[in-house]
């Protein structure tokens, strides 16, 4: 999957400037596709050159003019063709924190504390994102039940992807809290037992 597919999916919400798209990307599409604003701006320029999006200039007083991008018919056809492609590739995970947790027993107390701090940061970040996604969910539902929304909304895709993002952050939160508890128990146990001497070392006098 290319970044442009995610950009076109975001533009289904309506025309947007590069700046507004970057903000919207962070607030919604980011729960399944990450990109920096610079990557988005470059991709928008390429997509315009390929005829997938069109842009119109909006004059602004006391501020630089801005360009609003919208999907073209060709862009919609490309996105529709993407829907019909074969099975999606399996999710590829490259998680630096998990590698550190995998080898945490190699380090000393300071190293373990650093890993615990990293896990705690992930827990905090997951909680923040989950709260933001919850507010997005309430805005989408607008007082309706989930069943009412899914039965009457013009588009259900954004809600379903939001559910996926919330499930991921709940899993991050649950794993992180459990890992912090186990690492704390491990650190306490290690602190109460003498550290083994390196091979060949002489006993202390």
- Which residues face 54 on adjacent strands? 70
Q: Which residue has the tokens 């650190």?
A: 187
Q: What is the value of pTM for the model shown?
A: 0.76
Q: Which residue has the higher pLDDT, 166 or 91?
A: 166
**Residue 104 — very low, low, confident or very high, per pLDDT cuts 50/70/90?**
very high
pLDDT value, residue 130:
93
pLDDT above 70 (res 27): no
Over residues 60-73, the mean pLDDT reads: 89
Q: Which of 44, 7, 5, 43 is nearest to 28 (CA)?
A: 7
- CA–CA separation, 183 vs 114, rounded Å? 11
pLDDT of 124 above 60: yes
């Amino acid at each position: 999957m290319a970044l442009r597919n995610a950009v076109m999916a975001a533009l289904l919400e309506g025309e947007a400037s590069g700046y507004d798209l970057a903000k919207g990307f962070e607030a919604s599409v980011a729960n399944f596709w990450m990109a920096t604003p610079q990557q988005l701006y470059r991709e928008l320029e390429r997509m315009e050159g390929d005829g997938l999006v069109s842009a119109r200039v909006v004059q602004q007083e006391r501020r630089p003019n801005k360009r609003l991008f919208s999907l073209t018919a060709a862009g919609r056809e490309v996105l529709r063709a993407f829907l019909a492609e074969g099975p999606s590739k399996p999710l590829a995970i490259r998680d630096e924190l998990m590698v550190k947790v995998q080898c945490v027993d190699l380090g000393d107390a300071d190293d373990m504390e650093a890993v615990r701090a990293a896990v705690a940061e992930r827990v905090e970040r997951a909680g923040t994102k989950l709260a933001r996604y919850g507010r997005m969910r309430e805005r989408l539902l607008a007082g309706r039940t989930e069943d009412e929304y899914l039965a009457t909304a013009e588009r259900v895709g954004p809600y379903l992807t939001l559910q996926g993002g919330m499930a991921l952050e709940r899993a991050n939160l649950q794993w992180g809290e459990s890992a912090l508890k186990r690492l704390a128990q491990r650190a306490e146990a290690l602190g109460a037992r003498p550290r083994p001497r390196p091979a060949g070392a002489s006993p202390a006098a």
